[in-house]
Amino acid sequence: MLRFQHISHLFALAAIPVFVVLFIWLIYWRKSKIKKLGDIDLVSEQIRGVIAGRITLKFILLCVAFLLLAIGWANLQTGDKTEKVQRKGVDVMIALDLSKSMLARDVEPDRLTKAKQFIMRMTDKMQNDRAGLIVFAGRAYLQVPLTIDYSALKMMLNNVNTGLIPTQGTVIGDAIDMAMQSFSQKERKYKSLVIISDGEDHDEQALAKAKEAAEAGVTIHTIGIGSPQGTTLYDPDTKSVKLDENGAPVVSKLNEDELKSLAATGHGTYTLLRNTDDAAEKLVDAMAGMEQKSLGSVVFTDFTSYFQYFLAAAFVLLAAEWFLPGAKLKMKTETA
List, for residues 39-81, the tens digit of each pLDDT value. Answer: 656 555 555 555 556 788 889 999 999 999 999 999 988 877 6
| Domain identity same for 62 and 131 | no
**Would 271 be classed as within a structural domain?**
yes
**What pLDDT was estimated at residue 250?**
82
Cβ neighbour number for residue 23 with a 10 Å cutoff:
16
**What pLDDT was estimated at residue 242?**
81
**What pLDDT was estimated at residue 269?**
95
**What pLDDT was estimated at residue 65?**
95
Give yes or no for a cis peptide into 109 (omega within 30° of 0): yes
Helix 54-74 crosses helix 307-323 at what angle (to 10 degrees)? 160
**What pLDDT was estimated at residue 133?**
97
| Domain identity same for 54 and 137 | no
| Domain identity same for 71 and 183 | no
| Domain identity same for 284 and 317 | no
**Would 100 be classed as within a structural domain?**
yes
DSSP calls for 2-51: EEETTGGGGGGGGHHHHHHHHHHHHHHHHHHHHHTTS-HHHHHHTBTT--
| Domain identity same for 128 and 35 | no
Q: What is the per-residue pLDDT across 7-38, written as a single tens digit (0 to 9) for each?
A: 888 899 999 999 999 999 988 887 787 676 65
Mean pLDDT score, 309-325: 90
For residue 175, the enclosing domain spans: 87-294
**Would 307 be classed as within a structural domain?**
yes
Q: Residue type for 148, please? A: I
| Domain identity same for 207 and 112 | yes
**What pLDDT was estimated at residue 329?**
47
Helix 256-265 crosses helix 206-215 at what angle (to 10 degrees)? 20
**What is the percent of the chain with per-residue pLDDT over 70, rounded to a whole number?**
83
Where does the pLDDT of residue 311 fall: very low under 50, low under 70, confident under 90, or very high at 90 and above? very high
Q: What is the per-residue pLDDT across 202-217, written as a single tens digit (0 to 9) for each?
A: 677 899 999 999 999 9
Q: How far apart are CA 52 and CA 131, in angstroms?
A: 54
| Domain identity same for 57 and 103 | no
- Please answer whether residues 115 and 196 qualify as being in contact, where contact means their C-beta atoms are separated by less than 8 angstroms: yes
pLDDT of 145 above 90: yes
| Domain identity same for 316 and 177 | no
Q: How far apart are CA 172 and CA 77, in angstroms?
A: 40
Q: What is the per-residue pLDDT across 108-123, written as a single tens digit (0 to 9) for each?
A: 999 999 999 999 999 9
Name the CA radius of gyration of the chain, rounded: 28
**What is the percent of the chain with per-residue pLDDT over 90, rounded to a whole number?**
51
**Would 32 be classed as within a structural domain?**
yes
CATH of the domain at 208: 3.40.50.410
**Would 328 be classed as within a structural domain?**
no
pTM above 0.75, yes or no: no
**Would 333 be classed as within a structural domain?**
no
**Would 37 be classed as within a structural domain?**
yes
Q: What is the per-residue pLDDT across 87-103, written as a single tens digit (0 to 9) for each?
A: 677 899 999 999 989 99
| Domain identity same for 213 and 96 | yes
| Domain identity same for 176 and 268 | yes
| Domain identity same for 8 and 45 | yes
**What pLDDT was estimated at residue 331?**
46
**Would 334 be classed as within a structural domain?**
no
CA distances from 312 to 72, 74, 99, 131 (A): 9, 15, 47, 37
| Domain identity same for 279 and 315 | no
Helices (H), 51-166: 54-74, 111-125, 150-159
Q: How many domains does the chain have?
A: 2
